[in-house]
Structure 1
Amino acid sequence: MDFLARTDLHITTWVIAIILFFVALAMANPKVIHMILRVFYILVIVSGVALFIKGMDFDQGMLYGFKLLAGILVIGMMEMSLVKKKKGKPFTLFVVLFFVFFLIALFLGFKLPMGINFLA
């Protein structure tokens, strides 16, 4: 499981997932893209949980827990946005919540010891 607890693997999977999310939002019928995106959800969650377990060594479990929760909420808002769009219902609230939770997760990811320290 040590190969999953790599920051570069996690960042790559969520960057690809976000790109696929915006592509799916822009398309009229994103059925295939949505299915590929769901695979990336799983990859992001698995690599994130592996980083969470590894992050317990830094004695900041609560912050890593908040980041894990924010990441799960980001994925939830992505999925809810696409499902609401597919059903023809208003989905802008979920897109706004996606950005809010994404910024929280991004801030915590860069602030915590295993992240790239842009905020120092």
Structure 2
Amino acid sequence: MEFLASPHLHITTWVLALILFVVALAIAKPKVVHMILRLDYLLIIVTGVALFIKGMDFGQGMLYGMKFIAGIFVIGMMEMTLVKKQKGKPYTMFLVLFFVFFLVTLFLGFKLPMNINFLA
């Protein structure tokens, strides 16, 4: 469990997800990339849950819970954006919501004590 609760592993998984998301948005038929991205979603959630459990030791459970929920929303908006794009429907709103939730998640992640505090 200690390996999964590493912030570096979690950051690596969501950076990989961002790269795959951009690639899936850029290509016309992203079926394989989209399936790999869905597997990466699972890794993000597993490492996020491990960090959430470890974060309870710092006494800031509410902030970690808010970050967890915002992270789930980020994954949801990524998935909705790609599905709408594949169906040929407008997806701009989901892309904007993705950026909003992503910034909220980043802000909370950098504010919490388990990570590097870039905001100090």
TM-score range, shorter chain: over 0.9
Deviation, structure 1 residue 60: 0.3
| 1:55 aligned partner | 55
Give 1:30's aligned residue. Answer: 30
TM-score for both structures, normalised by structure 1? 0.99
1:15 aligns with 15
TM-score (norm 2): 0.99
| Unaligned ranges ≥5, structure 2 | none
In structure 1, the gaps of 5 or more residues are none
What is the SS of the residue equivalent to 1:101? helix
RMSD between aligned alpha carbons? 0.4
User: What is the number of equivalent residue pairs in this alignment?
Assistant: 120
Say yes or no: does 1:105 pair with 2:105: yes
Identity of aligned residues (%): 77
Deviation at 1:37, TM superposition (A): 0.2
Rounded Cα–Cα distance in structure 2 between residues aligned with 1:111 and 1:81: 28
